[in-house]
Chain A
Amino acid sequence: MDIRAQVSMVFHLDKCIGCHTCSLACKNIWTDRKGAEYMWWNNVETKPGTGYPTLWEDQEKYKGGWEVVNEGGKPRARLKLQGRFGALANIFYNPYLPSVDDYYEPWTYDYANLLDAPEGDDQPTARAVSQITGKYIDTIEAGPNWDDDLGGSTIYAANDPNLAGLNEAERAELAELQRVVFFYLPRICNHCLNAGCVAACPAGAIYKRGEDGIVLISQEKCRGWRMCISGCPYKKTYYNWHTGKSEKCILCFPRLESGQPPACFHSCVGRIRYLGVLLYDADRIEEAISVPNQELVEAQRSIIQDPFDPKIIQAARDGGVSDAMLDAAQKSPVYKFVKLWKLALPLHAEFRTLPMLFYVPPMLPVLARVTGDGNYEVAGAADHSLAPLLSSLDRARVPLRYMANLFAAGNEEVVREVYRKLFAVRLHSRSQQVGDVPADEVQRALEIGKTTPEEAGAIFRLTARPTYQERFLVPPLHREEAIEQTISPYKERSETGFGFLETPERRW
């Protein structure tokens, strides 16, 4: 048993309004630089859609993540991109890289023209200017959230890889104008336990911080081979064409170390984001990624450990996890959503990187649907309060299959259970707040949702009315203690302050 701490995240998609405030907060702090214009460490996608970069979920194209092979009768996970020899053979030529066109060509507008244009017959316009070439762009062909701009389009939405397994009728229904439906999927780096980028890096420049599990790229060691970009199935490492190095979300570790949540969390208007510590057993990672797709979500849950168990606490202490970290793990909202309540699911568990960012699937599109006569049928508003629980999950506007492809590696049962519990909580809360649901129906709903009134109350509280401190349980990171595990404090002490970029030298 090797218990380690991981700063983990939950995004509650029911609350996301797709405002992109998180993206802009991140952009303004971290990627508003030359060479980083096209990067969105945090981006918000509209689903169904092909995402950013286009079709990032299609690993037949990008070769990201891990695959399980049968080796001598034993399943073994290996990097889908390449092994050591493949890495050597392709080191100067990685064939599975997205081009800037697959992200989008970043642009700004020629605003000065609005003020400086000479007098003429026409209103002056601000033309789009490429931030890479500096030339005018006549037609903008793609953007960081093109799916939103073309919601439900026959090009982008229709090519969503998660539609796999849906029949023609279901696909047609999704695209039907009156029924067009979409929801938002904010994405940042998942800070995976079994990160593909770390495994793919030939320079050994990517590492997972011991004390909090944040995955970082050393800008000193990075040699720009760009294997991480192919290796990460979420396409969350980006190549900076100006510096020649790759970059990624750093989970705002300078903010975390001073006790603040990351900027995208802090700025979230819908308050959909939760941050907290999870304890996991690092010895069982290989076992957890070697199971068949259907069992992946459960396997990932199983390596997350109970922070109240004395044996776990002892093992964690032995492994160097600080008491403050253990305390944070016990109060963690992420632990509740993921392990206790089993509401939050990993995105694309089939990539087998064990992502540590979990999503509570959105309920809204599941519940309201259009009947044959063109009217909306809103579940819960009709007399049969239990109807959605009993039947409509399978007649949802966005089929369960789609949600299962996104959040449960194709296992519909996992998603169905989440929705049942979410609906039970909603019914229970309605009975508490409005009081128009018969008690026996609430009781029945709680049974179907496999929950209790206490738990439903707690879920409601953390979902709808959490305080800032409840949403963000930033552990005291004690970077200085973490450093002491590998570097002598006496050496650390002599390296004054922020250090020197250029050591002062007497030149006379």
Chain B
Amino acid sequence: MADGRLVGDKMSHASESAAAGKPRPLARGSIRAVILALLFSAAASGVLAVQGGDTSVGQQLFQKNCIGCHTIGGGTLVGPDLQGVTERRDQQWLVSWIENPDQVRASGDPIAQQLDQQFPVKMPNLGLTRAQAEQIVAYLAAQSGAAPAASPAAAALLAGDVVHGKDLFTGNARFSAGGPACIACHSAGGVGALGGGQLGPDLTLSINKFGEAGLDGFLTNPPTQTMSAVWTGHALTPQERADLRAFLAQAAVSGRPTNTVVQLALLAIAGTALLLGLAQVIWRNRLRAVRRTMVTAARR
């Protein structure tokens, strides 16, 4: 378990320094060696875990990557309830699916197609290694027979404050852990005429897509790569999640997605053009070019 932890930390450390563009005074070869060693140890521990029944690494990975969308015996959220999944599905398939769902999809797998149709959000690529996927599957197998664990869905959801939720969304109020305001990447109905960022999807109808519990889970532990990268280390408090949920729930009812604003603008432009055309017709007898018309007529 310590190994698995280490892997994550070291890797993120290495990628951070690379992303920051500040080369450390560490030889490139030695970094590669460390990474390889760690990977190997992680894979070895993963295999051991699967064989030996130690599922704590898998549990941690599950907590980190999966509970945004899935429960074990807690009911369906955005993704299916994973109670007994190791019995429903072939384990090797599960490992492949968790490791790289895109590849499975590309191979034309019928189960993948069915899942994609059945659930609102497609299984994302979480960037896990095969070893980590195996750890998770091992954990799932161990949990399948166990009593339902406590899950976000089961816990009572806090009531949120719409106004504060909007403030958090637009950045008028700061997140206590210092994450960026949602509006930097997302738009939602009710944040103003210009909308928000276009990098991420429009969140106006997100509550309908995820459901209250699903959204809470998503925000607790954002599963997508981008969100995960941004929010690691800046976890939202339960109250902040509740406020954002409340705001998005209201946006879904009263707000307008940004693309309808665009439609409205296009409609306005078309209306203006129509009115201008109409004015041309109504005032077609207006005075124009007296001298020029006279000269042209006289020369004819």
Does any Cβ of A come within 8 Å of B294's Cβ? yes
A99-B288 CB under 8 A given contacts A155-B294, A155-B298: yes
Provide the bound-state CA to CA distance between A114 and B283, in Å.
Answer: 48
Q: Is the CB of B298 within 8 A of A154?
A: yes
A61 within 8 A of partner (CB): yes
Q: Does A98 contact B (CB under 8 A)?
A: yes
**Contact flags A125-165 to B (C-beta < 8 A → 1, else 0):** 00000000000000001100000000000110011000000
Are A155 and B295 in contact, CB atoms less than 8 angstroms apart? yes
Within the complex, which residue of A97, A101, A154 is in contact with B291, where a contact is CB–CB below 8 Å? A101
Q: Which of B279, B285, B290, B291 has the most CB of A within 10 A?
A: B291
**B279: chain A residues within 8 A (beta carbon):** 93
Name the segment of A21-29, A50-58, A254-262, A406-414 touching the other chain. A50-58
Chain A residues near B298 (CB-CB < 8 A): 154-155, 158-159
Taken together as a complex, chains A and B put the C-alpha atoms of A99 and B283 apart, in Å, by 16
Q: Does B299 contact A (CB under 8 A)?
A: yes
Q: B127 to nearest A CB, angstroms?
A: 61
CB–CB A159/B290 < 8 A: no
Any B CB within 8 A of the CB of A96:
yes
- Are A99's CB and B289's CB within 8 A? yes
B299 and chain A: residue at smallest CB distance: A155
**Tally of A-B Cβ pairs under 8 angstroms:** 44
Task: Report the minimum CB–CB distance from B279 to chain A (whole Å).
Answer: 7
- Cβ of A55 and Cβ of B294 under 8 Å apart? yes
Docked Cα-Cα span, A102 to B286, in Å, equals 14
Which residue of B286, B291, B294, B295 is within 8 Å of A96 (Cβ)? Answer: B286
* Contact of A98 with B283 in the complex, beta carbons under 8 Å: no
Interface 0/1 of A434-460, CB less than 8 Å to B: 000000000000000000000000000
Q: Which residues of B contact A61 (CB under 8 A)?
A: 287, 290
Q: Closest approach, in angstroms, between the C-beta of B290 and any C-beta of chain A?
A: 5
Q: Could you tell me the distance in whole angstroms from the C-beta of A213 to the nearest C-beta in chain B?
A: 30
Closest to B292 in A: A101
**B contact residues, range:** 10 to 19
In the bound complex, CA of A241 to CA of B298 (Å): 31
Chain B 264-288, CB-CB to A under 8 Å as 1, else 0, gives: 0000000000000001000101111
Give, as a whole number of angstroms, the nearest-CB distance from B282 to chain A.
Answer: 9
Which residue of chain B has its CB nearest to the CB of A146?
Answer: B291
Q: How distant is A466 from chain B, measured CB to nearest CB, in Å?
A: 39
Closest to A52 in B: B291
Write the B36-58 contact mask toward A (1 if CB under 8 angstroms, else 0).
00000000000000000000000
- B289 contacts across to A, CB distance below 8 A: 99, 101-102
A62 interfacial by beta-carbon distance below 8 Å: yes
Which of A53, A95, A154 touches B290 (beta carbons < 8 Å)? A53
B287:A62 contact, CB within 8 angstroms: yes
Taking CB atoms, residues of chain A closer than 8 Å to B283 are 93, 95
| CB closest chain-A residue, reference B287 | A96
Query: A93-B279, A155-B295 in contact; A54/B287 too (CB < 8 A)?
Result: no
Chain A residues with CB under 8 Å of B295's CB are: 141, 155
Residue on A nearest B288 in the bound complex, by CB: A99
Q: Which residues of chain A are near B286, meaning CB under 8 Å?
A: 95-96
Q: How far is the CA of A99 from the CA of B291 in the complex (A)?
A: 9
Residues from chain B with Cβ under 8 Å of A98 in the complex = 287, 290
Q: Which residue of B lies closest to A104 (CB)?
A: B291
The answer, among A54, A62, A97, for a CB contact under 8 Å with B294, is A54
Closest-CB distance, A499 to chain B (whole angstroms) = 40
CB distance from B77 to the nearest CB of A (A): 58
Contact B287 A142 (CB under 8 A): no
Q: B residues within 8 A CB of A54?
A: 290-291, 294
User: Which residues of B lie under 8 Å from residue A142 when comparing CB positions?
Assistant: 291
State the Cβ distance, A323 to closest chain B Cβ, in Å: 48
Minimal beta-carbon separation of A174 from chain B (angstroms): 15
Q: Select from chain B the residue with minimum beta-carbon distance to A155.
A: B298
Shortest distance between the CB of B12 and any CB in chain A (Å): 61
Q: How far is the CA of A54 from the CA of B294 in the complex (A)?
A: 9
CA distance A53 to B290 in the complex (A): 9
Q: Are A159 and B294 in contact (CB under 8 A)?
A: yes
When each residue 148-187 of chain B gets 1 if its CB lies under 8 Å from chain A and 0 otherwise, what string results? 0000000000000000000000000000000000000000
CA–CA, A158 and B294, complex, Å:
10
By a CB distance below 8 angstroms, the chain B residues around A58 are 290
User: With A and B bound together, what is the CA distance between A272 and B156 in angstroms?
Assistant: 103
Q: Please state if A97 and B287 are interface contacts (CB–CB under 8 Å).
A: yes
- In angstroms, Cα B295 to Cα A99, docked, is 15
Residue of A nearest to B295 (CB): A155
Question: In the bound complex, how far is the Cα of B283 from the Cα of A488, in angstroms?
Answer: 48
A154 to B299, CA, bound (A): 9
* Given the contacts A93-B279, A93-B283, A95-B283, A102 and B299 also touching, CB distance less than 8 Å: no
CB <8 Å contact, A55 and B290: yes
A428 and B291 CA atoms in complex are apart in Å by: 45
- Least distance between B57 CB and chain A CB atoms (Å): 74
Docked complex Cα distance between A101 and B299 (Å): 18
Q: Report B-chain residues with C-beta under 8 Å of the C-beta of A141.
A: 295
Q: Across the interface, which residues of B come within 8 angstroms of A99, CB to CB?
A: 288-290
Tell me, in angstroms, the Cα distance from A384 to B279 when the chains sit together.
Answer: 65
CA distance A102 to B287 in the complex (A): 11
> How close is A408's CB to chain B, nearest CB, in angstroms?
26
**Residue numbers in B under 8 Å from A50 (CB-CB):** 291, 294
Shortest distance from the beta carbon of B293 to any chain A beta carbon, whole Å: 9
A54 to B297, CA, bound (A): 14
Write out the residue numbers on chain A whose beta carbons fall within 8 Å of the beta carbon of B292.
101
Q: Which chain B residues (177-217) contact chain A, with CB distance < 8 Å?
A: none
Compute how far the CA of A159 lies from the CA of B292 in the bound complex, rounded to whole angstroms: 13
User: Shortest beta-carbon distance, B283 to chain A, in Å?
Assistant: 5
Contact pattern, A 65-84, Cβ under 8 Å of B = 1, otherwise 0: 00000000000000000000
Q: Jot down 13 A-B pairs with beta carbons below 8 A, ordered by A.
A: A50-B294, A53-B290, A53-B291, A93-B283, A95-B286, A95-B287, A98-B287, A101-B289, A102-B289, A142-B291, A155-B298, A158-B298, A159-B298
Question: 9 shortest A-B CB distances, which residue pairs?
Answer: A95-B286, A54-B291, A155-B298, A102-B290, A96-B287, A102-B291, A95-B283, A54-B290, A55-B290
20 new A-B contacts at CB < 8 Å, known A50-B291, A99-B289: A54-B291, A54-B294, A55-B290, A55-B291, A58-B290, A61-B287, A61-B290, A62-B287, A93-B279, A95-B283, A95-B287, A99-B288, A102-B289, A102-B290, A102-B291, A142-B291, A155-B295, A155-B298, A158-B298, A159-B294
